[in-house]
């Protein structure tokens, strides 16, 4: 009897959850954090690159980020990427340096951030479900090819479903925690 590699499914679901954690770290409440711009992608040299590959981000003051663009020709592209990142930021260029003041969190902005967090969480749930579907398809194929009994198929499917439910719960708990953090005044 062949088996589905449960460790591989677990590792991939964990990867989806870790990615969610990285995305959440970019959603900052109140204080500036260099992670705030981690998800910003800049279009330069005919390719899309993470901002940390074209500039360095630092915290100048509790409510101010500075972005030092390494190539002056990319300043406009970096500024545009920050503006379009749906983070509610207004970059202010000064040569190759871009100042990014963080607005105080209004109630409206908090609601907006909660929606962004929910969007990230939903993407993580979808990733976990896609991994589950691949696992289930593999189990069905093994059973259909006669490499697994129907009983073993059911057991494997139950294991995969329990693993999926566990990771979805972790995503939901993480989202609830992030929402709490965002709504805290």
**Residue 1's pLDDT band (boundaries 50, 70, 90)?**
very low
Angle at 30 between CA 43 and CA 173, to 5 degrees: 85
pLDDT reported for residue 18: 93
pLDDT of residue 140: 92
∠ CA(37), CA(39), CA(42), 5° rounding?
Answer: 85
Domains and CATH numbers, the chain: 6-23+106-183 (1.10.132.20), 30-101 (3.30.1360.40)
Amino acid 134: pLDDT: 95
Q: Residue 98 is inside which H or E element, if any?
A: strand 97-101
pLDDT per residue over 92-110, tens digit each? 988 889 998 887 777 887 8
How wide is the angle at C-alpha 47 spanned by C-alphas 79 and 82, nearest 5°? 20
Average pLDDT of every residue of the chain = 87
Asked whether the predicted pLDDT for residue 19 surpasses 80, the reply is: yes
pLDDT reported for residue 136:
94
DSSP H/E element including 133 = helix 107-144
Rounded Cα–Cα distance for residues 12 and 7 (Å): 9
Of the candidate ranges 30-34, 125-129, 145-149, the one whose mean pLDDT is the lowest: 30-34
Candidate from 2-6, 70-74, 126-130, 156-160 with smallest mean pLDDT:
2-6
Give the lowest-confidence range in 51-55, 61-65, 151-155.
Answer: 61-65
């Amino acid at each position: 009897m062949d088996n589905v590699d449960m460790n591989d499914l677990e590792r991939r679901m964990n990867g989806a959850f870790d990615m969610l954690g990285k995305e959440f770290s970019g959603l900052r409440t109140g204080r500036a954090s260099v992670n705030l711009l981690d998800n910003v992608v800049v279009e330069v040299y005919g390719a899309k690159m993470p901002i940390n590959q074209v500039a360095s981000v630092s915290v100048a003051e509790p409510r101010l980020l500075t972005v030092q663009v390494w190539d002056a020709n990319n300043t406009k592209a970096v500024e545009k990427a920050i503006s379009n990142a749906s983070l509610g930021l207004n970059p202010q260029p000064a040569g190759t340096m871009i100042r990014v003041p963080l607005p105080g969190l209004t109630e409206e902005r908090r609601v907006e951030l909660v929606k962004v967090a929910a969007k990230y969480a939903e993407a993580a749930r979808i990733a976990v479900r896609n991994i589950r579907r691949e696992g289930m398809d593999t189990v069905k194929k093994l059973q259909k090819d006669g490499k697994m009994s129907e009983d073993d198929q059911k057991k494997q499917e139950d294991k995969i479903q329990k693993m999926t439910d566990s990771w979805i719960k972790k995503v939901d708990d993480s989202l609830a925690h992030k929402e709490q953090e965002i709504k805290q005044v």
